[in-house]
Structure 1
Amino acid sequence: MKSHSSTLLAEVRSFRQNHPDVRYVDLIALDIPGHFYGKRYPVEMLEKVAAGSPLKLPQNAVLLGVQGGLFKIGDYCFNDGDPDANRRLVPGTLKPVNWESQPLGQMLITSDGTEAPIEFEPREVLAKVLERLQHQGIHPVVAFELEFYLFDKQLENGLPQFARDPLSGDADDQPNLHIERLSRFSDVLDDMAQTAKDQGIDITVITAEIGPGQFEINFGHCDDGLRAADWAALFCRSTRGVALKHGYRASFMAKPYLQFPGSGMHVHVSLYDAAGNNLLAAHQQQPLRHAVAGCLELLPHCMPIFSPNHNAFRRLGGTVNAATRASWGFEDRDACVRIPDSDPRNLRIEHRLASADANPYLVLAAILVGLEHGLDAKREPIAPLNEDRNSGTDFPVEMLDAVRAMQQQPILRDKLGAEFVEVYCENKRQDHLAFQQEIHAREYRWFL
């Protein structure tokens, strides 16, 4: 612990020396819906925290709904006295923020690794899954891919407008995959990529996607699952900030336009032993088939994680590469679980179902639990789409059905934690019911 504190203290002091104009640092963590919460600390107080002073925030900040409200979930929020819970600083995440008007820093905090972790904190849920796999000699290597849309900064009657082409000034309203779009939007995209690198995120490929103003960013493969999910979370925060600085809005909303493709979170996962051997490639790739079977078996029960809100369910069965059934295939982007072409050393799955606005810690935790279950159960998967285009099993396509399927799944309760499953499902149910409490203008048009 003393060595850990000295490392953190050195990080804070180095940051202060390199960024003397920064007076405040945002200490941030991801809540259940995937939003950052936290506190803004004077940098001199941060140094005291790094030296060992307590860092406490309300435990129930993790339970916030999409709109920031508190829901009654068991005794949490209203019958527990709203207690504080310890957090710790995440080493290596103290970085400058360059999209605000004033100099600022930010640093991740978490309850995992404290004396009493919050069982339903997303990062803690993933940390427990990774720790269990490590004890089994399984070491995941992970890479996220995130799709997002750029919109004009100004909304029209609350609705998003196409991003303006910086070259022509016209709305970028043509779906395409053209490389020229990367050139036309290079100023904002280059700033997004550089800002992400300044945050310590390993950015690799940038792609212009099919939707108007839609792009995809790939991250490097990382042998630390927590860090890989940290990258995805931090990228969403920095990308929104950089977009505003350039006069745009960036959104990871799953389905902003009904007529255009939605935005997904694709996760590549390979599994290695301590010697660096790819576990999925052993025995003529039989473990790969078992892992796929486990993912597909649990996928229908993980839908509240992969599609965490009403809009995310709109993306399923969309115009491009968004499945409506749990399926798999080799080099097939219509499948939920795709096996990219690779050599045995790099053999992996690509899980393609999650929406871009899903919580990256929970998405990765759910995928890893599916892989773990498959390796334990050793069952054969259903036929791949390459052999049968109708292959697949149904999954819930409405939130309340999805919540019931997740809440009753014993493997998820065991592997993700029963307390987390209860809290998460009730949070999603309450969010969905709150969403239904507003009468849409369409209802008046149809029924008035």
Structure 2
Amino acid sequence: MKTPSCTLLAEVRAFRQKHPDVRYVDLIALDIPGHFYGKRYPVEMLEKVAAGSPLKLPQNAVLLGVQGGLFKIGDYCFNDGDPDANRRLVPGTLKPVSWESQPLGQMLITSDGTDAPIEFEPREVLARVLQRLQHKGIHPVVAFELEFYLFDKKLANGLPQFPRDPLSDDADDQPNLHIERLSRFSAVLDDMAQTARDQGIDSTVITAEIGPGQFEINFGHSDDALRAADWAALFCRSTRGVALKHGYRASFMAKPYLQFPGSGMHVHVSLYDGAGNNLLAAHQQQPLRHAVAGCLQLLPHCMPIFAPNHNALRRLGGTVNAATRASWGFEDRDACLRIPESDPRNLRIEHRLVSADANPYLVLAAILAGLEHGLETRQEPIAPLNDDRSSGTDFPVEMLDAVRAMQHHTVVRDTLGAEFVDVYCENKRQDHLAFQQEINAREYRWFL
């Protein structure tokens, strides 16, 4: 996994030649809650790192809670001396940043592929799963779809406002799927798509979704699963920046409005062998059934990953195409696992349960672990929704219940790493406790 320094050095020098006005580059990585952290490097120092100089950041930066604070998790953070850990540059990710007021660059960094990777770093968790699958001759092809909402840039008493239609200056407060909404918001949407492409992201279809100010972006299928997750992470960062530039807020919050559909992260996964044959389509699609069974079996034990916060849990149940139980079906958008109609070459599973603000590295790692488990145990799945509309198994919808279901599940610990599971679950538990330490207006209204 190590990249020769000459390749990275050539990438940095080519970037400097193409963008001579860029003086600083943000070196960024995703933490456990799915936020970017990192350092802003002078571009000449970046060249030294590319040539082989060490790149170190605090190991515990990965452990930040959703509000950015550090939690006591075992000996981490407060009893370990807050050590540095090596990171490496991710080749091919050095790109210009166009949404800032000054010329800037950004580049992904990671601990995976270093001599001592951080066991609980999200990208490293996915890298380990992919390495294990590769040793078994399994090669995933992955595509993400992300839904998000646009809001007015200004909040009203801390609450989001509908975005203003740039043609009429009226609020876009009507839920619909009309193609005209793409035209009315074309300036910001086109800039988002172009900025994504400038970041190396293969963004494709844009859709106006049902919620007011809600849209969806699709990414191309990639046989580099790490890069596919990189695209999802980087798109969230660039989209927020572009929205602010145009006078909007963009949010991947799972359920910003109770009365309108939430935003999801849909993940398409197909599996191939070394010869390029679709493993799911073999033997009259029997491996597809096994993979579905494995995913459904692990799904209730990965809910803290798929719905990583209280708001994400609000999205589940009661709205359009949001599953209330672990289920599957052919061409059925009410199912957690949808099997889109396709030819055998492109047969795939679409995982639809995940909230849009989930960590894409961990989401993909959990999905692949479920597929792997199913292919190995060869169990039959429950009936698809096409045969039985009541088919499905329950999953936890309270955070502490979800954490308990994840932390002590043997298969999840074995496939994602016991150290990661313990750290992640404690992070979610501490976030839950921190969330409870605030009295909101409703509580005074009900009980004062």
Check whether TM > 0.5: yes
Contact 1:264/1:352 (8 A) holds in 2: yes
SS at match of 1:2: coil
User: What does residue 447 of structure 1 align with?
Assistant: 447
Task: State the Cα distance separating 1:2 from its structure 2 match.
Answer: 9.2
Matches of 2:424 and 2:144, distance apart in 1: 23
| Cα deviation 1:217-246 (Å, max 9, x = unaligned) | 000000011000000000000000000000
Task: State the Cα distance separating 1:3 from its structure 2 match.
Answer: 6.5
Task: State the Cα distance separating 1:114 from its structure 2 match.
Answer: 0.2
Task: State the Cα distance separating 1:319 from its structure 2 match.
Answer: 1.4
Change (3 A) 1:162 1:115: same
| Cα deviation 1:96-122 (Å, max 9, x = unaligned) | 000000000000000000000000000
Contact 1:262/1:318 (8 A) holds in 2: no
Q: 5+ residue gaps in structure 1? A: none
Matches of 2:11 and 2:255, distance apart in 1: 40
User: What does residue 107 of structure 1 align with?
Assistant: 107
Contact 1:382/1:392 (8 A) holds in 2: yes
User: What does residue 155 of structure 2 align with?
Assistant: 155
Contact 1:176/1:210 (8 A) holds in 2: yes
Task: State the Cα distance separating 1:440 from its structure 2 match.
Answer: 1.1
| Cα deviation 1:324-352 (Å, max 9, x = unaligned) | 10000000000000000000000000000
Matches of 2:2 and 2:335, distance apart in 1: 48
Instruction: After the TM superposition, list the runs of 4 or more consecutive aligned residues in structure 1 that deviate by more than 2 angstroms.
Output: none
Scaled by the length of structure 2, the TM-score of the pair is 0.99
| Cα deviation 1:384-430 (Å, max 9, x = unaligned) | 00000000000000000000000010001011000000000000000
SS at match of 2:218: strand
| Cα deviation 1:154-203 (Å, max 9, x = unaligned) | 00000000000001000000000000000000000000000000000001
Contact 1:337/1:350 (8 A) holds in 2: yes
| Cα deviation 1:221-280 (Å, max 9, x = unaligned) | 000110000000000000000000000000000000000000000000000001000000
Scaled by the length of structure 1, the TM-score of the pair is 0.99
Matches of 2:199 and 2:2, distance apart in 1: 26
Matches of 2:91 and 2:391, distance apart in 1: 45
| Cα deviation 1:203-223 (Å, max 9, x = unaligned) | 110000000000000000000
Contact 1:162/1:172 (8 A) holds in 2: yes
Task: State the Cα distance separating 1:318 from its structure 2 match.
Answer: 3.4
* Identity score, percent: 91
SS at match of 2:437: coil
Contact 1:261/1:318 (8 A) holds in 2: no
User: What does residue 220 of structure 2 align with?
Assistant: 220
User: What does residue 180 of structure 1 align with?
Assistant: 180
Contact 2:111/2:117 (8 A) holds in 1: yes
Change (3 A) 1:2 1:345: closer
SS at match of 2:69: coil
Task: State the Cα distance separating 1:9 from its structure 2 match.
Answer: 0.1
Contact 2:9/2:47 (8 A) holds in 1: yes
- What is the RMSD of the two structures over their aligned residues, measured on CA atoms? 0.7
Matches of 1:168 and 1:201, distance apart in 2: 32
SS at match of 1:393: coil
Q: 5+ residue gaps in structure 2? A: none
| Cα deviation 1:133-155 (Å, max 9, x = unaligned) | 00000000000000000000000
Task: State the Cα distance separating 1:45 from its structure 2 match.
Answer: 0.1
SS at match of 2:216: strand
When the two structures are aligned, how many residues end up with a matched partner?
A: 448
Contact 2:2/2:114 (8 A) holds in 1: no
